[in-house]
Amino acid sequence: MEMTRRSFALTGLTALTGLALGGTSLSAFAAGKAGTLRYGTVTEVTNIDPHIYAGNSWKVLIGVLYSPLVTFDTKGEIVPAVAESWEQPDAATIVFRLREGVTFHDGSALTADDVVFSLERIRDEATGATLRGYLVDCTIAKVDERTVEVKKSEPDASLLSVLALPEAAMVSKAWVESGVNIKSQANGTGPFTLAEYESGVRARLAANPSYFIEGEPKLETVDFRMIKSDDARVSALRSGQLDMIDFVPWKDIDMLARMPNFEVDSASGAFMSVWFNATRAPFDDPRVRRAMAFAVDREAISRAAFFGHGTPIFSAPTPEDSPYYNADLKGTVSLDIEKAKALLAEAGHGEGLDMELIVYQGLGIYTTTAQILQANLKEIGVNVSIRLVEWSDLVSRKNGADYDAMIYGVSMKLNDPDAYSYYLGSESAYWAKPIGYRDETLEALLDEGRQLTDQGARKAVYAKAEERILETMPWIFINYREQAQAYTRKVKGYVHLGGALSEAAPAISLPKIALD
Amino acid sequence: MLRFLGHRLSSALLTLAIAAVAVFLVARMIPGDPVMIMLGEATGGDPAAVARMRNELGLDRSLFVQFSNWAMRLLQGDFGVSIRSGEPVLDDLLLRIPRSLELIAGGLLVAVLLGLPLGILSARNRGRLSGAISSIVSVIGFSAPVFVSGVILVVVFGVWLQVLPSSGYVPFADDPLLHLSCLVLPSLAIGLNFMGVVARVTRASLIDTMDNDYVALARAKGLSRGRAMIRHALPNAMVPVIAIIGIRAGNLLGGTVIVEALFDWPGLSSLLVSASFSRDYPVIQGSLIAIFAIFILISLLIDLAQSFFDPRVRATA
Amino acid sequence: MTTTFLSTFLRELGSRRNLAASAALLFLLVVAVLSAAAPLLPIQDPLAIDTLNILSGPSQAHWLGTDELGRDILSRIIHGGRISLGVALSAVLLAGVLGTLLGVLIGFCGPRVEAVAMRLIDVFVSLPEIFVALIALALLGGGLGTLIGTIGLIYCPQFARVVYNMTRSIRAREHVLAARSLGAGRLWLIRHEALPNLYSIIAVQASVTFSFALLMEAGLSFLGLGVQPPTPSWGQMVGILKNYIYINPWSAVFPGLALFFVVLAVNLVGDLLQDVLNPELRK
């Protein structure tokens, strides 16, 4: 790793010398090898610890460097990964049988001890792992050298889907304990190894010759470039410097789709919401929150901020293709200024109120959405002042309950309606959960749903839960934004996924992608 | 000459030292907690985890202890470790310094290659239309903010003509030609503004030196006005031009902030911007020190170049 | 001295040689009046959103087209001028008042304080300002007050240095030495001897600082560190609209041009001020 970084610095120096010499040795360098996919991604990843979420590009990177016990395939179904099989003796327990001969990139063999260590590392509070909330009341036990048992204290229908997420990655115990810097080095069991890495700028991934799935990965190398600027990413794809980009800017989706040499796949990704600080009056009053929900012009936001590539949410955010989608709720919330005014008056704020809206400054969609929202709320007498902040500031204000309301977009982390307890449950360890919001009726419904295994019975419970969510309105759901991937036609085998898997889709496809 | 060098060097080091103290203090006096930011998303700011991490990073010790530790390590070339990535700050700096220098060099090249002829033209053709036009061009260049000329350059060359990449960075080793073509527009954006400055000073100082006796002598010997200007006046007129480059080196460096943001160039300034947004103190401090060091180094080089051209500068030191 | 400076300046302004500068001054006056009177002008509401008509080019309804929310760009440029010019003007006032006080005080404080203070000021003047402003705003968060305060404080040392140098030369003049020997106090000297002689140099420094402050505000707003939307400022408009240049290149160019013409005009007027101050430069 040391070597790589130094060789990067050298490259910079060479560039300067090359400049001075008038670029005499130009032909010595060759651009793009066969079997190399050049991938442009949006987030500048500065920490590649596989257990701490750091943006969607992070998910792609760690998704191919590491593997979980089980994983999602391109159809969104759970298939074996490090574990070759599993059984569920009861609704709270899963027993995994490990695949034989799985090795880490450093050559050492993966053992049951590594599996236990990895899951314990996620549970350890000091790690700050993203999935800690889901696994914190689990016991993890090594049964024998090839068997591990994961047991929750009560039945949990979502446990297997949690363990199939890329952030439930398996790490090597010996390697982590040797004191390496896991934020900038990688040693997983995934289809690709980390050949070169410059934090926040680029990564070069090389095929892992001893990957446990025969015939994968098909690519030799993935050249992973982090390009935050929308225009830079799109124009690099258009000019042939890149083969694939993620997070296609909404303004460019139609333009790229019209071009004959590019494929644009799009599916619903994150959903945008307004989050309230329920510890602060008057936002602790559900009527005030509901009033604002009826004032939002969701169509206008989808049109202007997302150039038509957003789907307004007129009920709760369960995607329409989910088996848990409840069509009866559609239209529960819509643009209705009279109703909004009435609710506000009922709550005792008929004369209007002032509110500060915290907005992430890094993406145009947020500033645009915020300004439309501001204009919408003005109609019912709510004066919104917008405060643009950096990501870090947003997070610390959220955690410190130092805000009235904020807007943000999050994707469903889980392919299961129990995602609601992750977002809105008062016990959730998720950073974004509504501060000061705890609704006993909802808590009881979510507990009930988690413990049931029958889909029909769960559907009924979650329908009630969604109804309750819309009555208490901890968040205003605005719209689903489309997440699009664009690539040249020589890229074969990419499958785009929406909803909870939209961030992980590139990682799921990468081992299967080939170049024409 | 040695005394002059020693004097300049010690004053440069003093400036750097004062800057270092200021950098440290400013970074610490500002509200915002890097620990909360690091742990925020995952743990919801659990007090025990926060305290542990604060201790690990040495943030719980007194300001003075933190400063002396930092300064001692700095003197040994240790810039600390990035809070975000856990990697040595020095590695990041070494990677990005050449990229920012590249922009500055490109900008300077544009400024001198366009500014000098422009200045000469407007001095030589004083009172004529072509002279007036050259003067106007230089005032325009001087008044156009870096991001305005940058946006116009992108619109013309990137959007309309589509001959140059509108932004982005490609390592030299990956594709040298593309690397250089990515460099063209940012260099122009920085350089055009500076070109105006160079042209104005060239013009003023050329007009000044043309009045000197030796130029008059050269003309009396039969040299044409133009030749006398290029051969005799220009070398002497260079002294103030070099001086202005030194005085305005800060503008050149400051221009990289805008240009790196506009063109997505991963240099020192963009490192500083992203680090200040995430309160990554070691990186903020390291990149500021690097930026100030580059600035002081440029000024020092300019001083030396000036004394080379003009012995009087040495005498006044 | 003050009256001669002003009258020379006005005379020069009238001369044909300085046509460009007088045109520039006229332009600045027009811009200032337009900006100040923006709310009274018969132009469109700069905040009126029209999501059915975003990023449109120049048309009869919107002379300079619309922005990313369908708002009228011409109206936003005029209203944005209030912010851009207002911030620069306030920052110059702040820098001018503080810097002049500081400079005069240092000039009358005795050699030891003088040496240390000027050394510190030299360091601050020499460091590239934008980095200091950037760190301050990134860490403190943007907003009108912070913006004015930061820019004002940043340009304060430059004022202090210019004023200090002038004070020192005034202090050495014979009649000042005479007044001191007759027992005149420091404050009396500052009020009666230093300040009246400083007006012209302050005027020149203010014009230079004004153009720097304009550019600084624009640069910081361009980076997203200045005034917060929906309030427009020129730099901020360019910063946001540059993201849509592939859809409508004009939208980003217009506010940029507004800023460019104002800076150009300020520089032209500033050049003339400087020429009047240093007659030998004029040849």
For the segment B166-184, what is each residue's pLDDT rounded down to a tens digit? 777 888 887 888 899 999 9
Quote the minimal CA–CA distance from A205 to chain B in Å: 15
Which of A59, A395, A397 should be substituted to probe chain B, the one whose Cβ sees the most B Cβ atoms within 10 Å?
A: A395
Say how many domains are in chain B.
1
B positions 274-303 inside 8 Å of C (CB): 276-277, 279, 284, 288, 291-292, 295, 299
For chain B, percent of residues with pLDDT exceeding 70:
88
CB contact under 8 A, C249 and B258: no
- Interface contact A392-B178, CB threshold 8 A: no
Chain A residue with minimal CA distance to C240?
A364
CB contact under 8 A, C229 and A230: no
Looking at CA atoms only, how far is residue B19 from chain A in angstroms? Answer: 26
User: pLDDT tens digit string along C144-162?
Assistant: 899 999 999 999 998 899 8
Domain of B206, in residue numbers: 97-277+291-315
Paired tokens of B232 = 């005799």
What is the Cα–Cα distance from B118 to B125, expressed in whole angstroms?
11
Least Cα distance to B192 among B152, B247, B235 occurs for: B152
Give the number of residues written for chain A: 516
Give the residue numbers in C contacting B (CB under 8 Å), as ranges. 119-120, 122-123, 126-132, 134-136, 138-140, 215, 218-219, 222-223, 235, 238-239, 242, 245-246, 249, 252-253, 256-257, 259-260, 263-264, 267-268
Counted across chains B and C, CB pairs separated by less than 8 A come out at 117
Which subunits sit against A, judged by 3+ Cβ pairs under 8 A?
Answer: B, C
The whole-number pLDDT of residue A25 equals 31
Q: Which residue among B155, B258, B284 sits closest to C245, beta carbon to beta carbon?
A: B155
Residue B183 in domain? yes
CA distance A191 to chain B (A): 24
With CB atoms and an 8 Å threshold, state whether C223 touches B292: no
Q: Of B6-10, B69-73, B149-153, which has the strongest mean pLDDT?
A: B149-153
- Given A361, A372, A390, which is nearest C51 (Cβ)? A372
A87 touches chain B (CB under 8 A): no
Whether B106 is in a domain gets the answer yes
Q: What is the pLDDT of residues B129-140, one digit of tens each?
A: 887 888 888 888
| Domain contains B160 | yes
Residue A130 CA, chain-centre distance (Å), reads 11
Q: How confident is the model at residue A2, as a pLDDT?
A: 38
Calpha distance A455→A465 (Å, rounded): 15
A230 touches chain C (CB under 8 A): yes
Distance CA A327, CA A321 (A): 11
Which residues 116-155 in chain B show a CB within 8 A of chain A? Answer: none
Residues 381-400 of A with CB under 8 A from C: 385-390, 393
Report chain A (516 residues): mean pLDDT per 10 consecutive residues. 40 40 33 73 89 88 97 92 94 94 96 97 88 89 95 89 94 95 94 93 93 93 88 83 92 89 90 93 94 96 94 89 87 94 94 93 87 95 89 77 90 79 80 84 92 89 94 94 93 90 92 92
Identify the CA nearest to A503 among candidates A269, A317, A309: A269
CB B151 to CB C263 under 8 A?
A: no
Q: Which residue of C has its CA nearest to B138?
A: C264
- B251, B258, B269: residue with CB nearest C222: B258
CB contact, 8 Å: A371 with chain C? yes
Residue A482: strand pairing partners: A268
Closest CA to A419 of A170, A161, A182: A161
Q: Supply the pLDDT for residue A7.
A: 42
Query: Which CA distances in Å does A513 have to A71, A222, A359, B45?
Result: 17, 11, 37, 40
pTM score, two decimals? Answer: 0.83
Task: List CB contacts of A369: < 8 A, sequence separation 6 or more.
Answer: A272, A301, A305, A407, A478
Q: Which residues in chain B (195-234) have CB-CB distances under 8 A to chain C?
A: none
pLDDT tens, B285-305?
A: 899 889 888 888 888 888 787
Q: Cα–Cα distance between C262 and C266 in angstroms, integer?
A: 6
State whether residue B45 sits within 8 Å of chain A by CB.
yes
- In Å, how far is B17's CA from the nearest CA of chain A? 27
Note whether residue B259 is domain-resident: yes
Whether B295 is in a domain gets the answer: yes
B195 within some domain: yes
As a whole number of angstroms, the distance between CA A313 and CA A476 comes to 9
Tens-place pLDDT, residues A171-220: 999 999 998 999 999 999 999 999 999 888 899 999 999 999 999 999 99
Reported as a pLDDT band with limits 50, 70 and 90, residue B39 is low
Q: Give A309→chain C minimum CA distance, Å.
A: 14
CA distance C211 to A351: 44
Distances (CA, A) of A218 to A215, A416, A509, C163: 7, 31, 11, 71
Residues B40, A9: C-beta atoms closer than 8 Å: no
Instruction: Tell me which chain A residues have a C-beta less than 8 angstroms from the C-beta of C135.
Output: none
A 94-153 → B contacts, CB under 8 A: 125-130, 132
Closest C-chain CA to A234: C246
Q: Do B272 and C131 touch (CB under 8 A)?
A: yes
pLDDT at A18: 38
The pLDDT of residue B43 is: 47
CA distance to partner chain B, nearest, from residue A329 (Å): 32
Q: Which residue in C54, C230, C246 is closest to A304 by CB distance?
A: C54
Q: Which residue of C has its CA nearest to B153?
A: C253
- Which portions of chain C are predicted below pLDDT 50? 1, 280-283
Query: What's the CA angle centered on C264, arms C260 and C268, to 5 degrees?
Result: 175
Residues of C in contact with A300 (CB under 8 A): 49, 51
User: pLDDT tens digit string along B235-276?
Assistant: 777 888 888 887 777 788 888 999 998 888 889 998 988 887
Continuous segment of H or E residues that includes residue B117: helix B89-124
Closest residue in chain C to residue A365, using alpha carbons only: C68
Q: Measured between alpha carbons, how far is B247 from B7 in angstroms, rounded to an integer? A: 18
Q: Which A positions 388-417 lie with beta carbon below 8 A of chain B?
A: 390-393, 395-396, 398-400
b (16+ CB within 10 A) / e for B1-16: eeebeeebeebbeebb
Contact B45 A47 (CB under 8 A): no
CATH code at position B201: 1.10.3720.10
Minimal Cβ distance to B85: which of A16, A184, A235: A184
Q: Note the helical H segments in A305-454.
A: 337-346, 364-378, 391-399, 419-424, 440-451
> What are the φ and ψ backbone dihedral angles of A203, each rounded to 5 degrees?
-145, 145
* CB-closest option in C70, C228, C247 to A387: C228
- Is the minimum CB–CB distance between B25 and chain C shorter than 8 Å? no
| Position B36 in a domain | no
Q: Provide mean pLDDT across the span B85-103.
A: 90
Does B54 reside within a domain? no
How many residue contacts between A and C have a Cβ separation below 8 Å?
53
Mean pLDDT of B43-56: 65
The nearest CA of chain C is from the CA of A66 a distance in Å of 35
Chain B residues in contact with C257 (beta carbon < 8 A)? 148
**Going by DSSP bridges, is the β-strand pair A514-515/A491-492 parallel, antiparallel, or unpaired?**
antiparallel
User: Chains with 3 or more CB pairs closer than 8 angstroms to B?
Assistant: A, C
Cβ–Cβ gap C246/A252 under 8 Å: yes
Rounded to the nearest angstrom, the gap between the alpha carbon of residue C192 and the centroid of all alpha carbons in its chain is 28
Is A375 in the C-facing interface, judged by CB distances under 8 Å? yes
* Chain B residue with minimum CA distance to C215: B145
**Pick from B92, B105, B175: CB nearest A29:** B175
